[in-house]
Structure 1
Amino acid sequence: MKVNYVLLFYTILNVLANNDGPFYRMELETTNVLIGIHIKAKTMWNMINFVVGQDNISMKQLTFMFALPEQDYDPDSTTQIESEIKLQRWLREASGLEAGQIAADVRCQTSVNDLGEARRLMLKSDLRDLLIHILKNPSTHNMHFEHTCRLIGLFLSMKITAPSAYTTSADVSLPPDYTCVIRHESDILQSFKLFPRFIRFVNNENHRTVGGSILAFIQHY
C-alpha cells in the first residue's frame, strides 16, 4: 500500500509540475517555511554546505533546487520534483519538526512564481553572508576550493527575478591552473582563481590576467 501511495504521489506531482495549482504551491511553500525556520535558527549555512557537498547532485540541479524552484529542470519535471522533495526532506529532518507542525504555516495562497522569488530573496542574504565568512576566514571552514566554487555559482543565480543566465556548471580546472569556471551551458559567466589569501577574478580566456578580489563583488551583488 505504501509503494502504491508513493507512485500516486509522484504521478500527481508530475501532472502538476507545470501548473500553478494548490498541490505544487504547497510543496514549494513548505520548503520555504523550512528554509525560514533554518535561517531563524542560524542553521541554514550548515544545510547549504551539506546539500552543495552532495556529489550526486549536479551544479545545475543545485541551481534549480535553490534558485529556480518554480521552473522545470529543462523539460524534465520529474528531476525538478524529486529535487524539491529531497531538499524538503533534508530540511525537515534537520529541523527535528514533524510534517504536521510545518503544515500549519502553509497557506497555498501564493503563486509558484512568487514562491520562487521569495526563496531567492531569503537565501541570497544567507548565502552572501556564508561566502563572506568563508572568504574572510578560510581556515575556519576547512573546505575544498571545488565546494566554494559551487557556492559562488549558486550565489550568482540568486537574482530576485528569475535569472536567464543562471549557473549550470561550476568546475575547477586541474592544477596548476586551478581556476573556478562558472558557466551557463557553454557560455562562461565568470572565472575565479584561488590565491594564498584571496579568490580573485581572472579573464575568462586568459586565466593569467588577474582582476580584483571577489569579496567586494559578493558584498555588493
Structure 2
Amino acid sequence: MAGEEKVQVFGFRSGSYSRRVELALKLKGVDYEHIDEDMLNNNKSDLLLKYNPIYKKVPVLVHNGKPISESRVILEYIEETWMESYAILPKDPYQRALARFWAKYIDDKVVPAIEKAFRSNEEEREKRIEEAHEMLEPLEKELQNKLFFGGDKIGFVDIVGLVLPGWMHASEEAAGFELLTTHKFPNLNKWIQDYMNHSVAKEVLPQKDFLVAFLNKVVFGRNN
C-alpha cells in the first residue's frame, strides 16, 4: 500500500512552515516529493494555485491527488493517516489538547513577537525584546526538565516550534543582537541544541549561512 502512495509537499526553502511538514513525514518514514515554490519573488506555480486557491501559499501536502493546506492541519492529517509509525501527538485526549494549545500559542503569540523584535528599529527594540521575552517565558517553564516538549522525543509542539532551532541563531546574527539569552532561557537553549543535534531534524533544518544571507537581503534590505 505504501509503495502505491504519492505524497508531494509544495514548500519554500526558507519557510519554517514547510519544514514542519517535511520533518513530520521524515519522522514517520514517509517518502515524499518536495516541490519548491518561488515565494520570494511571488512566482507561484499553477499547481500551487490549483491546490490552495484560498490562501495561495505554502505548505501544501498532496496525498494521492488530494491537497491539504495550513501546516498544523497538515501535521494532524499526517498523524491520522500514518498512525502505525512514530506518534506525533499523545494518545491521551488531555495531553493531545495541551499539545494543540501550545502549538497554537507558538503560532499566535511567540512567532509574531519574535518577528517584531527582529524587525524593530533602535528606538523600539527594548520594548519589542521585552514583549518577545514575555511570550517565550511560558515555553521556558513548560519545558522544565524535559528533553523535548513531546517528552523524550520530538512531538507536535516541537515540530510547530521548529522556527526556533531553525531560524533563531540566524536571525540573531542578521539583526545584530541576542534575543534568546542562555541565562534567561536555559531550557529553551538546551532544547534548541538537542533539536539541532537530532539525526532526523538535521535533515530539514536550513543552513545558518544561507538563512543569514536570506534575512539580510529580504528582511533588512542589505546586499552584503
Query: Which structure shows the higher strand fraction?
Result: 1
TM-score, normalised with respect to structure 2: 0.31
TM-score, normalised with respect to structure 1: 0.31
